[in-house]
Structure formats: structure tokens, C-alpha cells
Amino acid sequence: MKFRFRFTISRKLLIGFGVIMIFVLSTSTVTYVILNRNMDTNLSSITEVYSPSAKDLNELNQLIANSKFLIKTWVFVDKKSDTNDKLKLREIHSTEYPNLKKSLGNYMVNWESKEAKSVYMEIIQETDSLFALHQDVMSQLSNFDAYNNLMITFVIQPRFESEGEVMVFTEKIQAKLEKLINEIQGEVSNSNTKMMEQFKVLQQLMVIMGFILVLAVVVTAIWLSRTLVNPINYIKTIILNMGKGILPESVLKVRSDEIGEMSEALNMLVSGLKKTSSFALEIGDGNYESNFIPLSENDNLGNSLILMRYNLRKAAEEEAKRKEEDDQRSWASSGLAMFSELLRQSNEDMEEFSFRIISNLVKYLEANQGGFYIINDQDKDNVYIELTAAYAYTRRKFIEKKIEIGVTLVGQCVQEGESIYLTDLPNNYIKISSGLGEKDPRCLLLVPLKNAEGIFGVVELASFRPFKPYQVEFIEKLSESIAATIASVKINLNTAQLLAESQEKSQQLALQEDQMRNNIEALEETQKAIEEQTQLEIQRFGEIIADYEKQLTQLTQTYEEQRTQLHDLSTSIEGMTMAINNSIGVLDISPAGIVLDVNSKYLSMAGLIREEIVGKLHSDFISEEAAGANVYQTLWNNLSLGRIHTGTHKYVFNKREKWFNETFTPVKSKGGELEKTLVLANDVSKIRKQEEDLREKIRLAEVELETLNDKLRDID
């Protein structure tokens, strides 16, 4: 495989930034070399050699000056041995000078000037000699007595005076030392000058390198802009236009870098979008079979268009199916409307009605033959199926107008009450004739004529073409209306027959009405006689009761006046009591309503013995509706007020009802309080029973009369 070098964006950036890095590294290297050289030559010599040397030389000069002052003080001033100045001088000789000498010796080795080294060595030698003189004097003048020794002081003091040899020698050392210090400081200044010159060179070099670096950056930026930014901006413009729906006409140039890959991908995207657009237009034109391949498995737009094509194709199929169903519903609605009009026409002739229905049904369904069967149930003991009309029939295997239920397909259809649809007919079951000959039909449909009231017949249809489900459903819906019409026709025929029969019966009823009228008149006369007799009985008993009440009232009123005559009247009262006991029931009741006493007549009327009533509440024998009524309570309230009560009351003795016409008379004590109540009762149960029987007879007569009037109205 031939290798193809790809000048990728990363490599371009690497080259651009590599050039910049080379310039930066070069500048850094040169700067580092110059700085390092200055540090090695100038800076290190200044900081590590000359500056410390100058410092130590100054300290040495100061130390010699201090020793000059201290030695004069030792010789001329301090005679004591342990003064501070003497101690300081001893420290200079023993510590400070040796340390300083050692430090300067280390620095002196690195001095470049041999003359300076020679001068330094002379200064050190002379200083050593000077300090040796100091130590000699210090040893001679070590105590107070030595200062008093003129021989010693006379020799020593002149040497340390201003013009003395020691002072002159000291000044000579200081002069050389100052000269050496100036020379060392000159070396420091020279080194600083050289270092500054090198820094200026470095500055110029950095300016030049900076200019070159800026130039390299500009060139690199221009190169990267032409190779990266401009193509990216061009691709960005195309993508923005694509965002607005504008596809580029030309194909992008493909290069060997990532931008080239982007261009290639964009070319593929544009090509795919153009194909997608064409595919969408094909779908919009209804071409759901147009071929389309998505850009990839993850092509959302392409996969969505394929899904849209599937959904649109499915929607178109569903729309066609819906239109077909709408046509079928429209066909069924039109058919039902047409046959509803046929069913509303005059249907007095059943055969004409049958032929009109079956002929139109065969034509509307575009069938070839049809038969109309009705169940004949005039004789409930001999119910059968009758062929009342046929259309386009020539010959059947069994040409029958009378079919038993459960026999043949027609009989089975009636028996099961379900439609029968056959596409595999028996040979020679039906022949359909035309000018070219005869042929067996392909399918046979039998639909029972039924509704909620029952089955009234069967429709049989034969055709060369199979019946579609919506046609079968149409016939089954229509069968309900036909069944209802057949039921109505049968009712009309039965009504006409019943009307004739009712006219015959009307004459018979007229005769019966005359007889009934005579019976009613006789009943009315009987009722009138019973009512008159009842009124007489009631009047007679009322007179008796009124007489009894009158007598009782008289007895009650005269009871107090005739107490003194009680003995004389006792015989008469006993006689009257016996008469009353034999003809009227008597009952004594306490104010609390408890039966105190009862006579034999009352027991006879009630059908009780004495123990069953005495000591019992009077209300226990009153009927429940009367005992709880306000009338009974009012009766006792009136008795407590001394009022007499008369009325007819209903009692229940051992579950037997009795009606007593009674008078309740209150009997008071001397103090005017109610002592007991005397009840006089007469049994009117038989009269009451006669009244109820009479009312029942009258009610029955009224009911019979009302029934007779209803029949007469029905006949009219």
C-alpha cells in the first residue's frame, strides 16, 4: 500500500509553533550563555573576590589605625595593665589581625594583578613587623612600675611620638594599604564596566531576537490563517447557509488534513441532503415505493423519512380502507332507507309483500336468486315454514312450499336462529339459468327474520359471487325490520279477525246486558229494603237506649234525695235491676279503668266468664285502633267531669269482634269525686254484620257494573 503523507492541522500547528519555539530557545540560549559568562568572569570575581577583598583591606586599614591609637594610649596614657584599650589592643594582635590576614590571604590568591599581590605581601610583612614592635613595647610596659622606669620610657616614648619611627612606619603601611585599596576598587569598577558592556550587547541581541520572533510569529500566523482559518470560515459559511436551507452547488475541495476530512464529510452530507430532499419530494408526490438509503444507521433524518414513508403509506392504506368502509356504510344506509320505504307501503297481501321484498333484495345485492319464507303459526298445533315468494328460481332439488322446522337448511336456520352462509353447496341444490345454460351458484346465504319478539321467517339468497361481510351484516340488520313488519302484518290480520269475532260477541253481550240490568234493579230494591230495615232496627234500639239513659239519669239525679227512702225503693230497684240484667249488659269500671263488676247479660254478650274480665283493664278489650285513639281518652276525661257518654264501640273478646251500643254514666261520691262508672251495653254486632254484608254486596255490584260498562265501551 502506497504511503500518503497527510499534512494535518496538528502538524501545521506543530511546524508553526516549532519555528517560534526555535527562536525562543535560541534567544534563551544566547541570553543564558552571556549571563553565565558574565557571572563566571565578572560577577563572580566582583562578588566573591574583589568586593570582599576591598572590604577586608578597609577593615585592615581601620585595624592598623586603631592599633596606632591604642599603642600610643598604652605608651603615654594607660599605666594600668588591664584597661579596656589594652585589652582591645591585645585582641587585635591575638584574634582580629590573624583572622583578617587569613581571609585576605584567601582572596589574594584570586587577584589577577601581580603587582597588587606584591604590594599586599609587603603590607603584610610590614604589618607583622609593626605588630612585633607593639608586642615588644607591650611586654616592656606590662605593669605600673615599668612606666616609672625612666630608662624604659625614655627609650620607648620617643619612638611613638608623632614623628617617631613607629608612627612613621605605621603611616607608611597605611599609605600602601590605601593605594592597594584603590587598586582593588579599580578592579571592581573595571569588572562592572565590562559587565555593563556585555549587558548592552545582550540587550541589543534580545531586541534583534525579539524582532525576529515577532516576524516569525506574524509569518506563522499568516500561514496558519491561510491554511486553517480561511478554509474553516468558508466551511462555516456553507454550514450557516445550510442552516437556512441553502445547499451549495459546488463540491468542496478535499485536502489531506482534518479540514479536508470535514470537507469530504460536508460533501457527503450535502449529497445525502439532496438525496433526502428528492426522496421527500417523491413521498410528497405519493410515490411511497421510492428507494432511499440513509447515510448511516444513526442518520436521524434519513431514518425519520423512512419512518414517515411507512406511516404515510399506512395512512394511505387506512384512508383507502376507511373510504371503502364509508362506501359500505353509505350503501347499507341507502339500502335500509329504500327497504324502510318498501316496508311502510301497504302490506295487506302477504305474498305481494314477500315478493316485493325478495325481488328488490336480490337486485340490490346483485345476487342471482332469492326465496322468502314465513312461519305459519295460525294453527298452534301445526307450525311450519311456508315459501311465500321466490325470485329468479327455476328448479330446486326439492321444490317445496311447506317446510318443517329443523328440516333442510331453511328449517335449521329457523330452529337455530342464526344465519347460515355456505360456499360449498350440494350438487344440484340450486341451478341458476341464463341464455347460455345453467350453472351452480358459488354461495348460499340464509338469514332468519327475527327480532326481540321471536323468529318470523327466513330469507334465502344464492349468487355466483361470494357475499361480503358488510352485505351479510346489512341483510341481518334488514331482517329485524322485515320481522317487525311481518309481526305488524300478522297483528293487523289477527285484529281484523278478532274484530269480526267481537261483533258477534257484541250481540251476545247486549242480551247479557239486559239480563244484568234486571239483576241490578233487583239488587237495588233488595238493598233499599235492607237499608230501611236497618234504619228501623237502629231507630228501635236507639229508642230503647234513650229510654234506658233517661231512666238511668232520673235514678242518678234522685239517688241522693231518696237515700232515706232506699229501703222502700230497694224492692223496686232490684226488680228494675233484674230487668236490666236480663235485657242489657251492665259493667262497673273504677276511675283507673279496671272492671269492678259485670252482670251475666254482659258476660253472655261477650262470651266470657267472670274471671276473664273482672280485675282487668277495660282498655284491654277495646280494639287497638280505638284504645289508642283520642276519642277513648276524651271519653274518660268527660266521665271525670261528670258527663254521660253514649256511643257504639268495637270490642275484641277472645279474638272475636263485638259491637256494643253503650252508655257510660259517672257515679260520684258525696265529696263529688268519681267513684266508678256504670256502663249499660246492648249487643248490635248482628246489625253491624248485616250492614257490612250489605255494603260488600253493593260494592261487588258496582264492580260488576263497572266491568260491564268497560266491555260495552270496548264494543262501541
Q: Phi and psi (nearest 5°) for 394?
A: -110, -60
Q: Which residue has the higher pLDDT, 190 or 35?
A: 190
Pick from 231-240, 478-487, 624-633: least confident: 624-633
Please report which helix (H) or strand (E) contains residue 90, including its range: helix 84-91
Closest CA to 608 of 686, 683, 689, 513: 683
- The cell for 46 is 566582583
Asked if pLDDT for residue 7 goes beyond 70, the answer is no
Please check whether residue 307 is in contact with residue 321, taking contact to mean a CB–CB distance below 8 angstroms: no
The pLDDT of residue 3? 44
Cα Rg of the chain (Å, integer):
79
- Based on DSSP, count helices (H) and strands (E) in the chain, helices before strands: 20, 14
Mean pLDDT of the chain: 77
The model's pLDDT over 649-706, given as tens digits with 9 standing for 90+, comes to 888 888 888 888 888 899 888 777 888 898 888 888 888 888 788 788 878 878 877 8
The model's pLDDT over 53-102, given as tens digits with 9 standing for 90+, comes to 888 888 888 888 888 888 888 878 777 777 888 888 888 888 888 998 88
**Total residues belonging to the chain:** 716
> What is the mean pLDDT of the segment spanning 347-354?
77
Contact partners, residue 16, CB within 8 Å, separation at least 6: 220, 221, 223, 224
Asked if pLDDT for residue 339 goes beyond 60, the answer is yes
Q: Phi and psi (nearest 5°) for 464?
A: -75, -30
Show the 3-state SS of 613-665: CCCCEHHHCECHHHHCCHHHHHHHHHHHCCCCEEEEEEEEECCEEEEEEEEEE
- Among residues of the chain, what percentage have pLDDT more than 90? 2
The pLDDT of residue 252? 65
**601-617 burial, b for 16+ CB within 10 Å, e for fewer?**
bbbebbebeeebbbeee
Name the DSSP class of 594.
Answer: B
Q: In what order do the strands lie in the sheet with 645-653?
A: 595-598, 585-589, 674-683, 656-668, 645-653
Q: Which residue has the higher pLDDT, 213 or 597?
A: 597
The pLDDT of residue 589? 92
Asked if pLDDT for residue 159 goes beyond 70, the answer is yes
Q: How far apart are CA 660 and CA 653, in angstroms?
A: 12
- The cell for 404 is 318443517
Helix (H, G, I), strand (E, B) or coil at 285: coil
> What is the mean pLDDT of the segment spanning 201-218?
77
The pLDDT of residue 21? 78
Contact partners, residue 407, CB within 8 Å, separation at least 6: none
Res. 138 pLDDT band, cuts 50 70 90: confident
> What is the mean pLDDT of the segment spanning 127-141?
85
Answering whether pTM is above 0.85, one says: no
The pLDDT of residue 595? 92
Res. 456 pLDDT band, cuts 50 70 90: confident
Please check whether residue 93 is in contact with residue 159, taking contact to mean a CB–CB distance below 8 angstroms: no
Q: How far apart are CA 527 and CA 373, in angstroms?
A: 62
Asked if pLDDT for residue 216 goes beyond 80, the answer is no
Residue 111 Rama label (left phi>0; alpha psi -120 to 50; beta): beta
The pLDDT of residue 594? 92
Asked if pLDDT for residue 363 goes beyond 80, the answer is yes
Asked if pLDDT for residue 568 goes beyond 80, the answer is no
